[in-house]
């Protein structure tokens, strides 16, 4: 068996308030994902829910990110657990699943993404075996621990069911979505710094610690990511690639035109 890849070891690095940072890719271009992976991120999220990625472009992005020695985590479309299995087979090291509002939703997610005895994931990780340099037997014995599954906490129902969701075997933590949660908690206002969202940020971090699981969140900016790191979150997204692309252009345009 060849040496395991660094992405395959990602689960060993995240936890205990690790404060790791992830890039966020929605542009369906593997080359773009590969460039972002060469920066000092600890992981790259590939967004199939609100980004423009389809299955083919996601698989291409996973490969480019792996070439940079980084793990890919894929946010799948709502309820699309079959795609979650496919991208794990293609070498993704984690899944973010939106609109998980109950323990039953979480159990269905775990069934598609974890092998027995935790779930019912079907065997077929040919690309993942090649990418990570592991034998079939080694992958099977280690995949449940190495591939991380994060339901999103982004609704009032999910927040109310947080302990039940975290108690599900095969769920490795949760991903806090402060933007959707702010709409729900404020009655229709987009404000990820709303006081009720801040309470949820604290609650998710505390409950994850209590259950021995990981707390993950979208910050939206580097400055806001510092806030989540201080709260003890394990993995924080600093913002989508499209926003970073425009911000980089804006900084250089302003520098060029500055008197």
Question: What positions carry a catalytic annotation?
Answer: 50
Q: CA dist 255 to 141, 221, 222, 245, 249, Å?
A: 53, 21, 20, 16, 10
| Angle, CA 96 vertex, CA 12 and CA 160 arms, to 5° | 105
Angle at 20 between CA 139 and CA 160, to 5 degrees: 85
Distance CA 69, CA 66 (A): 5
- Answer yes or no: are the C-beta atoms of 178 and 201 closer than 8 Å: yes
210-to-97, 106, 142, 204, 244 alpha-carbon distances in Å: 22, 18, 24, 10, 34
């Amino acid at each position: 068996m060849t040496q395991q890849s660094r992405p395959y070891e990602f689960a060993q690095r995240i936890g205990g308030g690790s404060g790791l940072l992830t890039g966020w890719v929605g542009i369906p271009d593997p080359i773009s994902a590969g460039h972002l992976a060469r920066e000092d991120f600890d992981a790259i999220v590939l967004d199939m829910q609100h980004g423009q990625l389809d299955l083919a472009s996601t698989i291409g992005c996973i490969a480019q990110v792996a070439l940079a020695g980084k793990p890919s985590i894929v946010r799948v479309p709502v309820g699309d657990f079959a795609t979650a299995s496919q991208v794990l087979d293609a070498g993704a090291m984690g899944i973010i699943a939106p609109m998980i509002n109950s323990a039953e939703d979480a159990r269905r997610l775990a069934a598609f993404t974890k092998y027995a005895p935790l779930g019912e994931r079907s065997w077929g990780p040919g690309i993942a075996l090649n990418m990570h340099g592991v034998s079939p037997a080694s992958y099977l014995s280690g995949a449940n621990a190495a591939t991380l599954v994060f339901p999103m906490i982004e609704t009032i129902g999910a927040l109310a069911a947080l302990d039940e969701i975290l108690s599900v075997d095969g769920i490795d933590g949760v991903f806090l979505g402060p933007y959707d949660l702010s709409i729900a908690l404020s009655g229709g206002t987009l404000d990820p710094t709303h006081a009720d969202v801040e309470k949820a940020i604290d609650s998710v971090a505390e409950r994850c610690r209590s259950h021995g699981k990981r707390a993950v969140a979208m910050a939206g900016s580097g400055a806001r990511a510092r806030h989540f790191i201080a709260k003890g979150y394990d993995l924080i997204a600093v913002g989508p690639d499209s926003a970073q692309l425009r911000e980089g252009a804006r900084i250089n345009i302003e520098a060029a035109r500055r008197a």
